[in-house]
């Protein structure tokens, strides 16, 4: 098992997620991309946990999942509310806070 492969995969997933956040307008897709980035980080945590032979990385990834779950609850609620009031899920339309 080459450790580098896991890291490459993690970096690839993170990059795809980051590019998705920056280029996509649909809030749901942006949201999913954020989840992808979080899980890429989780993959790296778990990998290093195995490499170092202790459980710290595993615990960290659990924390990440808990936080991600909370974030999904709040984030989806916001997206649904915005969609209801504005009939749009585009993040570019929700730009009232400028200036």
Partner 1 sequence: MTTSTNLVYLIALPLFSAAALLLLGRIADKWGHIFATLISATVFVIGAIEFFAMQGRTGESRAATQKIFEWISVGTLHVDASLLLDQLSICFVLLISGVGTLIHIYSIAYMSHDHDRRRFFAYLNLFIAAMLLLVLGDSYLNLYVGWEGVGLASYLLIGFWNQKPAYATAAKKAFVANRVGDVGLSLAIMIAFTQFGTVTFAGVKESASGASAGALTAIGAMLLLAAAGKSAQFPLQSWLGDAMAGPTPVSALIHAATMVTAGVYLITRSNFIFDASPMAQLMVVCVGAITLLFGALIGTAKDDIKKALAASTMSQIGYMILATGLGPIGYAFAIMHLLTHGFFKAGMFLGAGSVMHGMNDEVNMRRYGAIGKVMPITAATFGLGYLAILGVPPFAGFYSKDKIIETAFNAGGIKGILLGGATLLGAAITAFYMTRVIVLTFTGTKRWDENAHPHESPFLMWAPMAVLAVGSVASGFLLSSGSALVNWLQPVVNEHHEHHTEEFLPPMVVSVMALVVVAIGVAFAILKYRTVPVVAPQEVSVFTKAARKDLYQDSFNEAVFMRPGQKLTAGLVTTDYKVIDGLVRMVGWVIQTSSTALRAIQNGYVRSYALIMVLGVLALVTAVWLVTL
In the complex, the residues that contact partner 1 under the rule CB under 8 A are 18, 21-23, 25, 30, 91-92, 94-99
| Separation of alpha carbons 27 and 49, rounded Å | 33
In degrees rounded to 5, what are phi and psi of residue 94?
-85, 70
Shortest distance, CB of residue 34 to partner 1, whole angstroms?
9
Closer of 7 and 94 to partner 1 (Cβ): 94
Record the tokens describing residue 17, joined without a space. 């997620």
Shortest distance, CB of residue 17 to partner 1, whole angstroms?
11
Shortest distance, CB of residue 53 to partner 1, whole angstroms?
25
The CB-side HSE value for 71 (13 A sphere, CA atoms) comes to 12
């Amino acid at each position: 098992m080459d450790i580098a492969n896991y890291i490459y995969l993690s970096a690839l997933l993170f990059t795809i997620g980051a590019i998705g956040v920056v280029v996509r307008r649909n809030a749901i897709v942006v949201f999913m991309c954020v989840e992808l980035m979080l899980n890429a980080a989780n993959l790296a945590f778990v990998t290093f946990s195995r490499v170092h032979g202790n459980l710290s990385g595993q615990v960290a990834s659990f924390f990440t999942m808990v936080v991600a779950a909370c974030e999904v609850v709040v984030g989806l609620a916001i997206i649904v509310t915005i969609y209801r009031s504005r009939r749009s899920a585009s993040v570019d339309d929700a730009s009232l806070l400028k200036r």
